Amino acid sequence: MAPISTLFWLSIPLIAAAIIYQLGVPNVEDIFDLPFVSSFLVVKIIRQAFSQTYCYASVQTLSTGVSSPDCFSVSNGKFSRVFIDETSFDVTKDARTGHVIPGLWDGHGHLLQYGELMNSVNLFGTKSMKEVQSRLVDYKSRHQEAGTSEEWIRGVGWDQANFDGKWPVSSDLEIDKTFKDLYVMLDRVDVHCIWVSEKVLSQLPSPLPDIPGGEIPTKGVFCDNAIDVVTPYYPKPSNERKARFLRDAIFDLNKLGIVGMHDAGVFPSELTLYKELISDEDWTLRVYAMLECETRNTFCLDEAVKLNTTDGKLHVSSVKLFADGALGSWGSAMIEPYTDKPSSSGSLLVNATTLSKLTLDWAKAGFQVNIHAIGDLANKLAVEAFTSAYPVICPGLTARECQNKRRFRIEHAQIIHPDQQKQMLEIGIIPSIQPTHATSDMPYAESRLGKQRTEAEAYRMRSLLPLNPVLGSDFPVEPANIFEGMYAALTRRSPRTGLDPDGGTKGWYPEETIGLEDALKGFTINPAYGAFLEGKAGVIEKGAYADWVVLDEPLESLDVESLRKATVKETWIGGKRVYKRPGPDDLSSDI
Ligand SMILES: *[C@@H]1O[C@H](CO)[C@@H](O)[C@H](O)[C@H]1NC(C)=O
Ligand SMILES: *[C@@H]1O[C@H](CO)[C@@H](O)[C@H](O)[C@H]1NC(C)=O
Ligand SMILES: [Zn+2]
């Protein structure tokens, strides 16, 4: 009888320890890590039973914890231990493949629109009207059902710069007999203008209303606020179709090593859909959603919710406001007129008083405020809106202390007057930058802005580095591939061609390039901080979400030209593999 009762008494602490371990009670791991304790067989067994351990050729953690680890354990979807494997033989170590970096985050993208683009006509890279038309014809031949009043043909990626600088017109979409009477709506490359068919035009009121902050440059094209003339007639995709868009987008992003993204403008109705879908098995992406009111630049607190799902897949605590339009269509609001259009200095979508009032209202309601600002006037008003809110929401604190707490952001932060650059650096306002916007805009930015403004104000990266900029792509406006974004940040050359606007390899204003480590932080720990997820995302350390990416080579060993073509081997989220590149080297890295 004695042995049984001994076993019984022994099993109680064992079971208790296992339960505590499984619940992830803080500090239990620390106790387990003590050299004296960790040598116990019991501890080893518990670890084996309740966690998975993975070892690789190298692991880059971006954490100040263990240096140069090669293994980590995962339990309950989080890293439970990061360590150097001292037990296994050198031969085993040498056989390991794969180099790990933390799971990648895109700090500014549009999830639903990305999926919608995947299901529409891709016009990116078209070099002529003829090419646009031929892609439309090709799409229509593969999607016979598209183009009706219920399901318009959608596309994105055209640029009038490729039509000899002439704006397109609606009749350009009467391509042939099959295109007569079709509903077609195509977004400009920067999604700040749409170009619609005759059939769509025939539905609109006549004469067309005059919209402040909007432009109708030709018959069939609507820019910025003028887009609102058309949107009420656009048949919104059903929730079923939207769910399909989301699934397609998530699948594609996982392939690129993306484990999380900041969704820069999600309507309350879409958030409801996200909440319904987020617990599905195939929702394998973390989303930090910025709420956008159904009516832009309003205070819709009744429909707003702040939330964190327990599995860390959906976080909402910010709101998106819009100060201006884009540079390509002369829509960004400038302090001085455009160099290549002296009659205009762009347009604000909202005046300074309203922007400050909205910022304050949302801040008081506890929201992080993220303002879209491209032109230097828009960026000035954004900084002013923040600085006037700090004393009200943080009485007794300095602007810098308040900003550290509330983490207000400027989305794009593209053209910033030196005075506001100085203010941002002093206060710590977070810029959310898209390196590929710089390389997409570099062919025409200097003609819009002139030499001096371009040099002092445009597309800062190195100058704003002390602010730990959040980096992103603005997908689907740009490709979602983060390695292309890193390449653009490192070289200021086009990730598509490898060249600068002069056709050379010097890079466009190369003094604003940044280094690889800073670029990687911009796509990992900086977006984590910008989403109040520091220590949880973008890093491999105990307690963080077990999200990682496996590469063939260590990132820092790639020469810059290989970087833009790099692909990922595997993507893991919450300790589950969500993508594995098909290929001959199918060796498992699990031990
Ligand atoms: C969500 O989690 C973040 C980070 O832990 C926290 O700052 C925030 O207050 C939480 N929000 C809600 C609504 O629980
Ligand atoms: C700013 O815009 C608001 C709302 O459109 C308007 O009521 C207000 O008069 C404007 N203020 C100024 C100073 O133009
Ligand atoms: Zn955007």
Q: Which domain holds residue 297?
A: 246-548
* CA 372 to centroid of ligand 3, rounded, Å: 8
Please state the rounded mean pLDDT for residues 325-329: 88
Q: 257 with 227, same domain?
A: no
Confirm or reject: Cβ of 354 under 6 Å from ligand 2.
yes
Q: How far is Cα 492 from Cα 461, in angstroms, rounded to an integer?
A: 10
Ligand 2 atom with the shortest distance to the CA of 351: 1
Q: Is the pLDDT of residue 587 over 70?
A: no
CB within 8 Å of 564: residues ≥ 6 apart: 483, 484, 487, 495, 498
Please state the rounded mean pLDDT for residues 161-173: 94
446 or 42: which leads in pLDDT:
446
Please state the rounded mean pLDDT for residues 177-200: 93
Residue 577: the pLDDT is 97
**pLDDT tens digit sequence for 350-398:** 999 999 999 999 999 999 999 999 999 999 999 999 999 999 999 999 9
Q: 176 with 260, same domain?
A: no
CATH for 161: 3.10.310.70
Q: How far is Cα 466 from Cα 451, in angstroms, rounded to an integer?
A: 25
Residue 438: the pLDDT is 97
In a domain, residue 255? The reply is: yes
Please state the rounded mean pLDDT for residues 61-65: 93
Q: 219 with 346, same domain?
A: no
Please state the rounded mean pLDDT for residues 527-537: 98
Ligand nearest to the CA of 107: 3
User: Is the separation of the CB atoms in 489 and 439 below 8 Å?
Assistant: no
Q: 260 with 128, same domain?
A: no
Mutate to test the pocket of ligand 1, among 308, 313, 406 (most ligand atoms within 8 A of CB): 308
**Based on the structure, what is the number of domains in the chain?**
3
Q: Which of 26, 50, 74 is the last residue of a domain?
A: 50
Ligand 1 atom with the shortest distance to the CA of 315: 1
Confirm or reject: Cβ of 251 under 6 Å from ligand 1.
no
Q: How far is Cα 453 from Cα 432, in angstroms, rounded to an integer?
A: 20
* CA 292 to centroid of ligand 2, rounded, Å: 21
In a domain, residue 434? The reply is: yes
Residue 33: the pLDDT is 65
**pLDDT tier at 91 (50, 70, 90 boundaries)?**
confident
Please state the rounded mean pLDDT for residues 465-474: 98
Residue 565: the pLDDT is 92
In a domain, residue 561? The reply is: no
Q: 289 with 348, same domain?
A: yes
In a domain, residue 77? The reply is: no
* CA 543 to centroid of ligand 1, rounded, Å: 16
In a domain, residue 215? The reply is: yes
In a domain, residue 385? The reply is: yes
Q: 318 with 198, same domain?
A: no
* CA 44 to centroid of ligand 1, rounded, Å: 34
Q: Which of 441, 416, 186, 219 is nearest to 330 (CA)?
A: 441
Residue 1: the pLDDT is 46
Q: Is the pLDDT of residue 552 over 90?
A: yes
Q: 220 with 255, same domain?
A: no
CATH for 433: 3.20.20.140
**pLDDT tens digit sequence for 492-510:** 999 999 999 999 999 999 9
User: Tokens 């339990």 — which residue?
Assistant: 75
Sign of the alpha-carbon torsion through 510, 514, 516, 521: negative
**pLDDT tier at 11 (50, 70, 90 boundaries)?**
confident
Ligand 2 atom with the shortest distance to the CA of 352: 1
Confirm or reject: Cβ of 307 under 6 Å from ligand 1.
yes
User: Is the separation of the CB atoms in 69 and 59 below 8 Å?
Assistant: yes
* CA 417 to centroid of ligand 3, rounded, Å: 21
In a domain, residue 72? The reply is: no
Ligand nearest to the CA of 355: 2
Q: Is the pLDDT of residue 568 over 70?
A: yes
CA geometry: angle 293, 299, 304, nearest 5 deg: 60
**pLDDT tier at 590 (50, 70, 90 boundaries)?**
very low
Provide φ and ψ at 299, rounded to 5°.
-115, 95
Q: Give nearest CA residue, ligand 1 atom 7.
A: 532
Confirm or reject: Cβ of 532 under 6 Å from ligand 1.
yes
In a domain, residue 240? The reply is: no
Ligand 1 atom with the shortest distance to the CA of 307: 13
Q: 5 with 137, same domain?
A: no
In the predicted model, what is the mean pLDDT of the chain? Answer: 92
CA-based R_g, the chain, Å: 26
Please state the rounded mean pLDDT for residues 306-322: 95
CB within 8 Å of 425: residues ≥ 6 apart: 464, 466, 467
Residue 7: the pLDDT is 66
In this structure, the strands spanning 99-102 and 548-551 are antiparallel
Cis (ω within 30 of 0) for the bond into 232? Answer: no
Residue 591: the pLDDT is 37
Confirm or reject: Cβ of 368 under 6 Å from ligand 1.
no
Confirm or reject: Cβ of 122 under 6 Å from ligand 2.
no
Residue 329: the pLDDT is 85
Confirm or reject: Cβ of 351 under 6 Å from ligand 2.
yes
Q: Give nearest CA residue, ligand 1 atom 2.
A: 308
In this structure, the strands spanning 314-322 and 307-308 are antiparallel
Ligand 1 atom with the shortest distance to the CA of 306: 13
Lowest mean pLDDT among 91-100, 158-167, 448-457: 91-100
The pTM for the full model equals 0.85
Residue 65: the pLDDT is 85
Residue 564: the pLDDT is 93
Residue 191: the pLDDT is 83
